[in-house]
């Protein structure tokens, strides 16, 4: 009857292979008459203590340390707050690159615009200069024609006045010839003794000659004044015609320059619009290149992050597999240690004639702690 109880106790040992530490408590005492009636010997063994003195327990401890390290690594790798992997699209500020592209291309655009405007100004200046030169040439020709016409008119006027003066002089000479000749004849016929008469006749001759000469001189003076007035009138007329022609040329020249300026402005506006369109196209090309570069950078960063995430996932799976392997190794090793402990406990129970070996503290009459004895047996 004793042996079946021992093997039943070993079955209880098999049920207690979880490795949890159990503390054996002495069974409460029974009255002497009860102990005499029940003589079954019950031993209690703390398998956790027994396992810790087994020669292979350092291997279990090493596996426990390895399990703790792997669990810590898995905790760090699985914690999103501590994980180094972040699958985030990097934010790229395109504003500096866009501004730099504009600032880099702006001087070239401004230079092209200035070249077009300078060419337009030069063309308009050249056209205005040509208009002024043509008008100046016409003014010079008109002035020469007016001067020739004025010179001719003045010469004709001078000739007419000279002719009038000569005719007037001939008329006066004819008119005063007989009175002067009569006085001269009288003077020739005056007797030397009539000296007073001769002086009177001479005075009359002088007065008559003076009167004739004064009339001729007055006529010449009047003709000279008339010629001067005519010259002034001719000069004023020429100047007026030249001034009117100059004003007409200025007005016509301004009209021509304005028309050419409008034509050049329209052409320059079209050129500037084409230049602006070309500049905008080149700028869009630069901006597209910046955007494409940023997208490539983002794609590369995402690819790197995804690769890191895959590597991290692989590392976690590897840690999990490694942890599972170590845990299995630990379970197998611990099971071997418990099996060895059960064998030793069975042998000790046979030697000591124990009826039951328990691995848990169960309140039973006569139960005693055999853990130290089993430990001593294993250490031998």
pLDDT band at 349 (very low <50, low <70, confident <90, very high): confident
How many whole angstroms separate alpha carbon 353 and alpha carbon 371?
16
User: What phi and psi values does residue 22 have, to the nearest 5 degrees?
Assistant: -120, 135
User: CA dist 64 to 61, 67, 70, Å?
Assistant: 5, 5, 10
CB 12 within 8 A of CB 358: yes
Task: Give CB contacts under 8 A, 24+ apart, made by 328-336.
Answer: 329/63, 330/60, 330/63, 330/64, 330/67, 333/56, 333/59, 333/60, 333/63, 334/17, 334/19, 334/51, 334/60, 335/17, 336/56
Q: Which pLDDT value is given to residue 67? A: 94
Q: Which pLDDT value is given to residue 361? A: 57
Q: Which of 53, 51, 43 is nearest to 359 (CA)?
A: 43
Is the pLDDT at 340 greater than 70? The verdict is: yes
Return the C-alpha torsion angle 224, 228, 231, 232, nearest 10: -170
Question: What are the tokens at 127?
Answer: 């056209």
pTM of the predicted model as reported, rounded to 2 decimal places: 0.45
Q: Which pLDDT value is given to residue 12? A: 41
More confident residue, 152 or 97: 152
Q: Which pLDDT value is given to residue 351? A: 87
More confident residue, 6 or 62: 62
pLDDT band at 69 (very low <50, low <70, confident <90, very high): very high
Question: What are the tokens at 354?
Answer: 């124990």
The mean pLDDT value for 284-312 works out to 79
Is the pLDDT at 32 greater than 70? The verdict is: no
DSSP characters over 246-276: HHHHHHHHHHHHHHHHHHHHHHHHHHHHHHH
pLDDT band at 39 (very low <50, low <70, confident <90, very high): low
CB 161 within 8 A of CB 223: yes
Mean pLDDT, the chain, rounded, equals 81
pLDDT tens per residue across span 299-323: 777 777 778 878 888 888 998 999 9
**Of the listed ranges 152-161, 187-196, 230-239, 359-368, the one predicted with least confidence:** 359-368
Q: Which pLDDT value is given to residue 73? A: 87
More confident residue, 308 or 20: 308
Q: In what order do the strands lie in the sheet with 356-358?
A: 356-358, 42-44, 367-369
**Of the listed ranges 53-57, 110-114, 168-172, 178-182, the one predicted with least confidence:** 110-114
User: CA dist 157 to 55, 96, 105, 244, Å?
Assistant: 158, 88, 76, 26
Q: Which pLDDT value is given to residue 224? A: 94
CB 24 within 8 A of CB 369: yes
Q: Which pLDDT value is given to residue 364? A: 62
How many whole angstroms separate alpha carbon 158 and alpha carbon 228?
10
Share of the chain above pLDDT 90, in %: 35
How many whole angstroms separate alpha carbon 129 and alpha carbon 160?
45
Is the pLDDT at 173 greater than 70? The verdict is: yes
Is the pLDDT at 82 greater than 80? The verdict is: no
Question: What are the tokens at 176?
Answer: 């005063």
Q: Kindly state the DSSP code that residue 355 receives in the 8-state scheme.
A: S
Q: Which pLDDT value is given to residue 89? A: 60
Q: Which pLDDT value is given to residue 324? A: 94
More confident residue, 159 or 97: 159
Is the pLDDT at 30 greater than 90? The verdict is: no
Q: What's the number of CA atoms in the CB half-sphere (13 Å) around residue 338?
A: 22
CB 56 within 8 A of CB 336: yes
More confident residue, 92 or 95: 95
How many whole angstroms separate alpha carbon 197 and alpha carbon 189?
10
Question: What are the tokens at 45?
Answer: 């063994």
Q: Which pLDDT value is given to residue 183? A: 86
The mean pLDDT value for 225-249 works out to 92
How many whole angstroms separate alpha carbon 161 and alpha carbon 85?
122
Q: Which of 172, 171, 232, 180 is nearest to 204 (CA)?
A: 180
DSSP characters over 2-40: HHHHHHHHHHHHHHTTT-------PPPP--HHHHHH---
CB 346 within 8 A of CB 6: yes
Bridge partners, residue 357, by sequence: 43
CB 352 within 8 A of CB 8: no
CB atoms within 10 A of CB 302: 14
Q: Which pLDDT value is given to residue 363? A: 60
Highest mean pLDDT among 41-45, 225-229, 294-298: 225-229
């Amino acid at each position: 009857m004793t042996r079946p109880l021992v093997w039943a106790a070993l079955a209880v040992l098999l049920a207690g292979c979880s490795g949890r530490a159990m503390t054996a408590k002495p069974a409460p005492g029974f009255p002497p008459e009860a102990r005499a009636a029940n003589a079954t010997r019950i031993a209690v063994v703390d398998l956790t203590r027994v396992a810790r003195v087994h020669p292979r327990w350092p291997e279990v401890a090493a596996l426990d340390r390895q399990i703790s390290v792997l669990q810590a690594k898995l905790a760090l790798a699985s914690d999103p707050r501590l994980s180094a992997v972040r699958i985030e699209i990097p934010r790229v500020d395109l504003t500096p690159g866009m501004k730099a592209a504009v600032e880099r291309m702006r001087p070239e655009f401004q230079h092209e615009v200035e070249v077009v405007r300078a060419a337009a100004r030069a063309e308009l200046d050249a056209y205005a200069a040509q208009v002024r030169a043509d008008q100046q040439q016409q003014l010079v020709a008109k002035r020469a024609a007016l001067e020739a016409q004025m010179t001719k008119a003045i010469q004709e006027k001078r000739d007419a006045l000279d002719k009038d003066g000569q005719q007037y002089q001939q008329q006066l000479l004819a008119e005063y010839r007989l009175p002067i000749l009569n006085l001269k004849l009288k003077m020739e016929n005056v007797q030397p003794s009539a000296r007073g008469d001769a002086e009177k006749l001479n005075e009359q001759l002088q007065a008559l000659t003076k009167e004739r000469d004064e009339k001729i001189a007055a006529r010449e003076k009047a003709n000279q004044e008339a010629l001067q007035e005519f010259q002034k009138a001719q000069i004023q007329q020429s100047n007026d015609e030249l001034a009117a022609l100059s004003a007409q040329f200025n007005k016509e020249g301004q009209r021509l320059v304005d028309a050419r300026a409008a034509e050049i402005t329209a052409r320059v506006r079209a050129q500037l619009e084409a230049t602006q369109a070309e500049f905008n196209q080149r700028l869009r090309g630069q901006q597209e290149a910046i955007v494409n570069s940023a997208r490539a950078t983002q794609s590369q960063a995402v690819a790197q992050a995804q690769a890191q995430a895959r590597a991290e996932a692989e590392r976690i799976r590897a840690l999990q597999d490694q942890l599972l392997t170590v845990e299995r190794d630990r379970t197998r090793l611990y099971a071997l240690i418990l099996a060895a402990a059960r064998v030793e406990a069975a042998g000790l129970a046979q030697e000591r004639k124990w009826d039951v070996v328990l691995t848990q503290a169960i309140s039973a009459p006569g139960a005693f702690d055999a853990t130290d004895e089993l430990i001593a047996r294993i250490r031998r």
